[in-house]
Amino acid sequence: MFIFLFIITASADHIAAYVGSNIILESEVVENIGFLQSDRATMEKFTTLEELRDHVLDQLISQKLVMVEAENESITVSDQEIEMQVDKRLEEIKENYPSEADFYEDLKRSGITLEELKKYNMENLRADLIMQRVIQKKFATKIRISPIAVRRFYDENKDSIAASPDRVKLGHILLAIQASEAELRKGFAEAAEVYQLLYTGSDFGVIAQEFSDDENSKYKGGMLGKIKRGEMLEEFEGIVFKLKPGIVSEPFLTRLGYHIAEVLNKGSDWVLIRQILIKVGVTSADTLRYEKLAQRLQEFVSQGVDFDSLAKQYSIDPNIDIGEYYVNQLTPPIDSVVMSLEQNELSDPMLTPYGYHLIYVREKILGKILSFEEMRESIADYLSRQELQKSYEEMIEELKSRVFVRKFTSQDYSNNIK
């Protein structure tokens, strides 16, 4: 619904606000609303489009006012200062995609060039840095949080801020459901036939489109793109990172099936790669077989068999320890599973897209009320940020009193049209 309205609003651009000699266009407002759509917490604060638009427009007006103040204070940010940060931000964006090839494909579909994306991020980073420097110069050195204020805040709020929830240290066993020996032999025979075609000179991309079972890459000639260590299955990386560029691997097995891979280029921690995947069918009998194995492992642990030994022998994940968590951080269904388990107890088998999971509770640590000494630094930081925010808001109001600001609502446009 929101996206539909954004498109209508952006179709005929208007001036959304005047800030001194600067203007804010409605298209700028729409663009910033678009970036907020992925932030559910922020979106849920608004019940109407007009409320959301007003919030975003106020933010843009504040940015423009800060820019006016930055000019008065001779505060600037050079291109060199932000270029490295922009490159880092773009790398972070790319990491959200399965591969670099997928990133560029998405850019193409959106009608955005890499240079346009870089320019947009440079402008936003410049605004952020200038705002930080204005606040730092005008207020940071003036704000002093007294030890008495920190102590008072702790005494008045310790029941809510100093309560440390219960924690748990977790391990797990992951059993990937694998096909029967008959299915494995069938899959290998098919992979061997495909490999023979490649060996006799057939084009890899054409063969991938014809035979690969990987729906994400087959129509791109098997191209997976640039992958870094740690992004793919460990058993897959164990083979492909040893390949030399231009060499096609023999068929090799992972939990997904049989792969035939070719490395096109490589660096110290990445490879540019394409593959053909021949999936191996898993039946209900295979699922039942691994469910029974998971139940046996649960019984072994209840009888006193060492969990780590079982995990090393059976789990396909070499990282046996999941980590330490606050109980209230856990999400369903893990939270209820963990709450029902005692220390050194293994859960019932849970079927997931990755196979059967068994969660092991290594240790349960009861929560406590943190002492003043443990909380002192974080409280001082919090109070300092609160004072900075208050000073920032006061600065914006003071700037509004001496810089011309006029806002237009959507209703203003409707009245003008009439």
**Residue 99: predicted pLDDT:** 60
Stretch (H or E) spanning 275: strand 270-279
What's the confidence (pLDDT) of residue 331?
Answer: 82
Determine the pLDDT at residue 418. Answer: 42
Q: Of residues 334 and 252, which shows the higher confidence score?
A: 252
In three-state secondary structure terms, 317 is coil
Mean of pLDDT values over 59-79: 85
> 309 pLDDT exceeds 50?
yes
Q: Is the dihedral of CA 65, 67, 68, 69 positive or negative?
A: positive
CA 69: distance to chain centroid?
35
Mean pLDDT of 335-345: 91
Q: Hey, what long-range contacts does 181-189 have (CB within 8 A, 24 or more apart)?
A: 183/280, 183/281, 183/282, 183/283, 184/253, 184/280, 186/280, 186/281, 187/257, 187/258, 187/278, 187/279, 187/280, 187/281, 188/251, 188/253, 188/258
Q: Do domains 167-177+284-368 and 181-279 have the same CATH topology?
A: yes
User: Would you say domain 2-143+382-417 falls under CATH 1.10.4030.10?
Assistant: yes
What is the three-class DSSP state of 141? helix
The reported pLDDT for the residue numbered 413 is 52
Domain boundaries, the chain: 2-143+382-417, 167-177+284-368, 181-279
Percent of residues, the chain, with pLDDT higher than 70: 90
Residue 102: pLDDT above 60? Answer: yes
pLDDT band at 38 (very low <50, low <70, confident <90, very high): very low
CATH class entry, domain 181-279: alpha beta
State the pLDDT confidence band at 8, using cuts at 50, 70 and 90.
Answer: very low
Q: What is the mean pLDDT of the chain?
A: 85
pLDDT greater than 90 at residue 163: no
Query: Closest by alpha carbon to 69, among 132, 121, 125, 119?
Result: 132
Mean pLDDT of 126-150: 83
pLDDT of 414 over the 80 cut? no
Nearest alpha carbon to residue 247 among 211, 224, 273: 273
Give residues with Cβ within 8 angstroms of 147, minimum separation 6: none
For the domain bounded by 167-177+284-368, which CATH number is listed? 3.10.50.40
- The pLDDT confidence band at residue 410, using thresholds 50, 70 and 90, is low
Amino acid (1-letter code) at residue 208: A
At residue 412 the predicted structure's pLDDT band, cuts being 50, 70 and 90, is low
